[in-house]
Structure 1
C-alpha cells in the first residue's frame, strides 16, 4: 500500500462526505450528519487497515515475488466486503440493542427491522423530513454503500472519474424529492467532491508515470480546471434543476383532500354557507368544555395570497410521545373519543396539544407534525375512523402570560412566526403601532389587539357577505369596512400580532359543537372555525379568538376575554351569491359558483409565473446537455492523460484517435509509416511534416534500439497535426468528433481486459511496504 493509496482513500472519503451534503435540504435538522461521518470513518479506516494487512501478508507469503493473480483479485474483493461488514456492525451497535463490535445474527436481524422502519419513514414523511432514528440509520447505510463503491473504484480500480459518477446517487435524492429550487449545496458540494476525486486520480497517474504531482502539473491543473467547471455548473444549475412538484421523501404525490373537509386550500366559505349543515364528528370528552378541535395551522402570510400552508414538515409516529410545548402544571389533562361521521379529510381534527392519538385499526399512514401541531395522513382519509386523543390543553393565567420572557430575536420560532411581507401596507403597521405604543409586555400587546377587534365601539361585525374593497389589499379592506367572518378576523389578528413582535399563526378547525342528550358532542359544518394562536415561552401556543360568534359556540378562554360580550344569538347574515375570490384569505380548491354550489372538480391551475415556467425546462435541458457532454469530457481526459505521459506511443495514439473521431479512413493494420503517409495526404505541408515526425518517433520507440532517446517538441507536433486534420473535414464532422468521438467506444472495449487484470497487476507492480518494483529489484 503506497502513500498514493492513502491519499486516494482520504480523497474518496472526503468526496463522499461532500456528496452526502446533497441530502441536507431533504432533512429538517442536522442530527443525521454525525452518524454519516462515523460511517465514512468506518469505511476509510477499515479499508486502510485491510489493505495494509494484505500488503504485510503478501510480503511474508511471497517475498520477492508477485502475488498470484487469483489471490490478488481475492484480496481486492475482500476489502469492500470487510468494509460492508464493519458498516453493518457500526449501524447495529448504534441503532439496535443487540449490536457489537462485529455484526451478530441478532444485531443484523434487529438492524433489518430498523431499516424497514426507515423505508416506511420514506413512504410516509414529506420533505424536509424529521431524521428519526430509523430514517437516520437508513441514510447512514445508504451513504456507507456509496462510500464503499467510491473507495473501490478510486483506490482499487484507479478510476477516479468513474467513482465520481457514484456521487450522482446522492445528488438525485433532493432532485427527486424536493419541490422548487434545491439550492446550491446539493449541487456544488458533490461537484467539489468530484473535483477532489479527479485530482487524486491524476496525481496517482502522474506518480505512476514518474512525474511530480501537484496543482502545477499538467494532470493536476487539468483536474482542477475540470473541477472548477463542475463547481461553476453547480452554482449556475442549483436553482434550475427540475424537481418534483410535491415535497414527499419518496417522490410520490402528496395526499389530497376529498369529500367533506376543512382543508387550508379549500374554501371555508363553503363550509359556513351550506343550506343544510352536515354532521361531521361525534366527540365524547372527559370534560364538559373540551375546547377547539384543531385540524391544521397555517403560518405563511402574503399580502396577495393571504394565509397559506407551508406544507407538513418533519413528522412523528403517533405512537411516540408528542410534544406539548408547555409544562404539565400549565395544562389541563383530558381525553376525547372522536368518531368521523361525515368528515373525510387528510387532516385529522384533534384537541389542541395532543399527547397521544390512538387510531382504531392502526396508525398506518397517519403522522404528527410537531411544527404545525397537525395530524396528517398520507394516502389515507378520516372517513369512518374512530380515534382516542389524550390532550393537555394549556390553561395559563394572565399573570403567567405576562411573565413569559420574550424569544431572542434570532430564535427560529420567532423568525418564522413573525415573518411578514416587505410590501405590507403601511396603514396596517400604523394601526398596530397606535395600539401597542408604550406597551412593553408581549401579553399586553396581544390583548390590546384582541380588544381592538372585539370592542363593540369599534363597530366590527360578523358577516359572511362583504362588499368588494377598493384598496387592493384584503387585510386593509377588512380593517376599513370592519365586516368579515372568522377566517378574516383570525387572519387580521395574526398579522397584527406579528407586526407587534409576537409569534402568531392561524388555526383552522372546529368549535366544540353542540352537547347531545347522551352527553356526546355533535360537530357539524356550521362549527367550522378559525382562531389565532400566539406563542409564549414555556407555555407554547395559546389560543385567542377575536371572532364575535355565539356564546354557546365559543371555547372557554379566560385569559382572552372580550370587551363586548354578545348575549344575543349569532346573527344569520344575508349571503351574497357571488363572493369575489380575492376577498378570501385562502385560495379555494373547489370555489363556489353563483348559486352557492361547488364545482364538480378542481379548478385548472392558474398560469404559472415566469420562473416556474422556464425553470424545469431549463433544468431538464441542462441535465440532457450534461449527459451529452459526458463522452466529450471522457475524451478530453484521455487526451490530457496522453499529453501528460508525453511518450511517442501515447502521442501517436492521440493522432490515430483524432483521425477516427473525424471519420478519416484508416486501416488499423497499417504500420505507423503507412498510416502517417495516408493521413499526411489530407493535410498541408505543415501538417504532413508534423504527422511524419510523430510516425517516425513511434517507429523508433517500437522498433528502434532500447537506448534511443525520444526527441523533443513532439507535443507541439501533435497540436499541429490535430489542427491540420480538423481543418481537412467539414464543420459537421468536427462537431460529431467533439460531442460523440468515434474512438471512445473502441478505447473502452480495448481497456476492459486491462481493467479486469488491473487488480492483479497492481499487486505485481509493488513491493510489500509500498515501494514500486524497478528493473533489477526482483532478485534482491
Structure 2
C-alpha cells in the first residue's frame, strides 16, 4: 500500500503532460538567455543556443516516450549536444562532421581559452566570435540537459528555477544596468508557468485534486510576486556589482563608456595602482579617450593600433621649435586592476615592462592589450611633456588641421543652453586659451558643486546632451558632467575637444623607492577630464571638475625662476576627503586655480541599509514560503482534504532530514515515526486512518474523522518531530526547509540521513 504521492508518481502522466512540460522548460531557458544580449552582440549564437536547447529537450522527450531509464535519457541528450557542437563549430576536425576525433577534443580548450580571454579583456557588448559563440551555445545546451533531468526526471522544478534565475543574473552582474522589467517579467512568468505545468502533469487519486494542487502554484505566485517587487523596487537602491562594464576579470575595472557613477558611488574603495615618478608631483594617468559624440553617448576611440614592441609605437612629441619639452619617467605597479587599457601618463613616448601582447594607439598615446590584462603588471613610462609659456599658448589657435575631424562634431538637436552659456562665460576673452581658462574658472569658482547623489536623484546620471543641459541648470554633478559640459561648450566655440578616462593622481603612502615617493591610487580616483587640441602644441588637458585635481595654468616666461619649468598642467591632488561639497560662501575654501581635495560627499547610509534589508529578506524568503504553504495545506485539510494533512507530516519529516521513501506505505511510515521518533500514537493513528480512507475507501465513506481533528493531529505530529530534533536541525528546518524543493517519495527524500532524538 503506497502513499497518495507515491500512487500518483507511479502512474503514467496524462497524455501531453511531458510535452507541455518540455515546452515550458524551453520557454524558461530562453528567458534566462535574454539578458546575455547585454553582454554579447546578438548574432548567430542566439539562434544556435535556442536551437541546441530545443534539440536537447526534444531528444529527452522522445527518449522518455520509449520508457528509457533516466540515465539513458541523459546520455542521449549529451550525445545530441556533442554532435551539434561538433558539427557547428568543429566539423573540420570531426569524422563525418559529427563524430569527434582526438583533434576535436584538443581544439576545445583552445576555443574556451579564447572565449575567456575575450570576456576578461573585452568591453560589453562583446563582438560575436567563434570562440564566444562556442562558449555561450555550449553552456546553453549543458544547462538544458541539467534542468531537464532536474525537472522532468527528479520532479524538482523549484530547484531548476533557482538555477535558471542564477544563470540569468550573471549578465546583470557583469554589466551593471538598470532593471530590465520586461525581461524579468518574462523570466518570472516562464518560471511560474513551468511550476504550474509540472504540477498539473501529475495525476492525483484524490477527488479534490484541484484544491490540493492549488498550494504549489499559489506558493510559487507569492514567491514570484516578492521577487518582482525586490527586483523592480529594491534593486535600484543597491550599489552596483563590483565588476564594471570595461572588464570582466578579477579586481576593479575601467569603464570607458562614461558610466562612472556606479563605480564612484561604491562605499568600498581599493588600491588599484602604485605610482612613482621623476616629476615633482604625481601625474594624471589616462586609459583611453572618447572623441565621437552622437548626442546621447561618448564612444571610446576605435583607431589604428600598432604593436608596442614594433618600433613604430608611440613616437616622439612634435611641437613648435621654441616650446620647451621636459622628460619624465613614471613607474606604475598594478595591484588590483583588471583592464584592457594600461594607465599611462601623457604624452607617453615609450612604455616598457608590460608582459603579454600590447599595442600602442598613436592617435591618443594610450596602450591597449591584445592578449592579457593589467592585473599584476609593472611597467615604466617615458613622457615628453611640452611646457609652453603663457605668452606662447595665448598665441596659438585651438583648432585641428582636419575640418572633418570628429572632435568638432555636435548633434543637430543639442540644447541651446550649452552654446549660450559658452558664449556668455567667455565673452571677455580674446584668445582660445583665455576662453578655456574662463570656462575652467567658471566651473571651479563656486557656482557648481561636486555631487555623486544629486544627478541620480534628478535623473541625469549620464553624459548626453540632455544630461549636460540639466547639469548646467542644476549645477551639481560629478566628473562626467563637468568633462562633458566643458568639451561640448568648447566645440560650440569651434575648438576640437575630447574626453579622457583615467585616474587622478594618487596620494603618498610613506614609501620611498629609488629616492622617489610612492603614490597610492584608489578605485575612487577613477576620473574623466576634457582635452582641447592646440595647433603646433597638441592636446592640452583641463580640469573643470569642482573640488578635484589641479586646474591647468601656464605661467608667463618672466615669472619663472631661473631653471624652473615655465608652466604647469594638471598635477598632484591632496588626500580625498569626505566633508561634503564646497561651500561657495566660505572664503577659506580653495577656488579657481588652487588645488583642493576631491570632495566625495557625505556617506549615504541607504545603500548599506538596503543591502542588510535585502539579505535579511532573501534569508527569510524560504521560511515565509514554508509558512504560506503550511497555511494552504491547513486550509485544505480543514476543508476535508486528508491528503493535505498527511503532506504536512511528510514535509516536516523532509525538513528534518527524516527519510520519506516511495517504497514505504503510509502505515509503515506512521509506525516508524512512532517507534523511532516518538510522535504521539493516538494522533498518528487517527491521521493514518484518515489518509487510508481518503485514498482507498468509497467516496461516501471517506470522511472518517472531522476535518479539524485531522488538521490538529497533523500539526501535533509535526510539533513532536520538531521538538525531538537537535536544535541545529530545528533551525535549519525553519531557515532552509528542504520540502520546498524535495518531493515526498523522490530519491532525494529517500536518501536523507537519519535524525536522532535528543
Q: TM-score range by the shorter chain?
A: 0.5 to 0.7
Cα deviation code 1:688-712 (max 9, x no counterpart): xxx96x66543545786xxx22557
Cα deviation code 1:728-760 (max 9, x no counterpart): 999xx99x8997299967995962448889xxx
- Displacement, 1:260? 3.4
- Displacement, 1:567? 13
Query: What does residue 506 of structure 2 align with?
Result: none
TM-score of the pair, normalised by structure 1? 0.54
Aligned counterpart for 2:139 among listed residues 116, 139, 142: 142
Contact 1:366–1:378 under 8 Å retained in 2: no
Cα deviation code 1:76-128 (max 9, x no counterpart): 23233224314533662599999944545434432321111222334445666
Contact 1:127–1:249 under 8 Å retained in 2: no
| SS in structure 2 of the partner of residue 256 of structure 1 | strand
What pairs with 1:29-44 in structure 2 (closer than 5 Å)? 29-31=40-42, 34-44=44-54
Query: What does residue 289 of structure 2 align with?
Result: 297
CA–CA separation in structure 1 for the residues paired with 2:744 and 2:90: 45
Aligned length: 570
Structure 2 residue 427 is matched with structure 1 residue 431: no
- Displacement, 1:42? 1.4
Query: What does residue 55 of structure 2 align with?
Result: 45
| SS in structure 1 of the partner of residue 288 of structure 2 | strand
Contact 1:8–1:197 under 8 Å retained in 2: yes
Aligned counterpart for 2:682 among listed residues 678, 681, 686: 678
Cα deviation code 1:617-666 (max 9, x no counterpart): 233223322355565577679889x979x997624513645897999xx9
- Displacement, 1:159? 2.3
CA–CA separation in structure 1 for the residues paired with 2:168 and 2:379: 39
- Displacement, 1:224? 4.5
Structure 2 residue 608 is matched with structure 1 residue 613: yes
Structure 2 residue 20 is matched with structure 1 residue 20: no
| SS in structure 1 of the partner of residue 275 of structure 2 | coil
Cα deviation code 1:539-568 (max 9, x no counterpart): xxxx6349xxxx6x5469xxxxxxxxx998
Query: What does residue 248 of structure 2 align with?
Result: 249
CA–CA separation in structure 2 for the residues paired with 1:456 and 1:636: 75
CA–CA separation in structure 1 for the residues paired with 2:95 and 2:415: 47
Q: Which runs of 5+ in 2 are unaligned?
A: 1-12, 254-270, 306-310, 317-326, 335-341, 384-398, 451-467, 473-479, 504-527, 541-553, 563-568, 578-587, 589-596, 657-666, 724-729, 752-758
Structure 2 residue 701 is matched with structure 1 residue 722: no
CA–CA separation in structure 1 for the residues paired with 2:78 and 2:735: 37
Query: What does residue 342 of structure 1 align with?
Result: 330
Cα deviation code 1:272-300 (max 9, x no counterpart): xx6x589x99xxxxxxxxxxx97533799
Query: What does residue 363 of structure 1 align with?
Result: 356
| SS in structure 2 of the partner of residue 740 of structure 1 | helix
Q: In 2 relative to 1, CA 361–374 (structure 1 residues): closer, same or farther, beyond 3 Å?
A: closer
| SS in structure 1 of the partner of residue 500 of structure 2 | strand
CA–CA separation in structure 2 for the residues paired with 1:639 and 1:371: 71
- Displacement, 1:489? 11
Query: What does residue 463 of structure 2 align with?
Result: none
CA–CA separation in structure 2 for the residues paired with 1:161 and 1:240: 27
Cα deviation code 1:305-339 (max 9, x no counterpart): xxxx99xx99xxxxxxx93299xxxxxx9754589
RMSD: 6.8
Q: In 2 relative to 1, CA 76–490 (structure 1 residues): closer, same or farther, beyond 3 Å?
A: closer
Structure 2 residue 643 is matched with structure 1 residue 650: yes
Contact 1:98–1:107 under 8 Å retained in 2: no
Contact 2:742–2:748 under 8 Å retained in 1: no
Contact 1:51–1:79 under 8 Å retained in 2: no
Q: Which runs of 5+ in 1 are unaligned?
A: 59-66, 262-270, 282-292, 302-308, 315-321, 327-332, 388-394, 410-417, 421-425, 436-448, 480-486, 511-529, 534-542, 557-565, 575-582, 595-601, 681-690, 758-780
Q: In 2 relative to 1, CA 461–698 (structure 1 residues): closer, same or farther, beyond 3 Å?
A: closer
| SS in structure 1 of the partner of residue 379 of structure 2 | coil
- Displacement, 1:201? 0.9
Q: In 2 relative to 1, CA 232–711 (structure 1 residues): closer, same or farther, beyond 3 Å?
A: farther
CA–CA separation in structure 1 for the residues paired with 2:362 and 2:618: 34
CA–CA separation in structure 1 for the residues paired with 2:679 and 2:104: 65
- Displacement, 1:15? 0.6
What pairs with 1:101-140 in structure 2 (closer than 5 Å)? 101=98, 103-125=100-122, 133-140=130-137
Please tell me whether Structure 1 or Structure 2 has the larger radius of gyration of its CA atoms: 1
| SS in structure 2 of the partner of residue 751 of structure 1 | coil
CA–CA separation in structure 1 for the residues paired with 2:406 and 2:444: 39
Q: In 2 relative to 1, CA 609–47 (structure 1 residues): closer, same or farther, beyond 3 Å?
A: same
| SS in structure 2 of the partner of residue 260 of structure 1 | strand
Aligned counterpart for 1:11 among listed residues 24, 27, 44: 24
Q: In 2 relative to 1, CA 109–584 (structure 1 residues): closer, same or farther, beyond 3 Å?
A: same
| SS in structure 1 of the partner of residue 499 of structure 2 | strand
Aligned counterpart for 1:155 among listed residues 152, 155, 162: 152
Query: What does residue 668 of structure 1 align with?
Result: 670
CA–CA separation in structure 2 for the residues paired with 1:151 and 1:73: 10
What pairs with 1:580-619 in structure 2 (closer than 5 Å)? 607-619=602-614
| SS in structure 2 of the partner of residue 137 of structure 1 | helix
- Displacement, 1:590? 6.8
Q: In 2 relative to 1, CA 490–661 (structure 1 residues): closer, same or farther, beyond 3 Å?
A: closer
| SS in structure 2 of the partner of residue 259 of structure 1 | strand
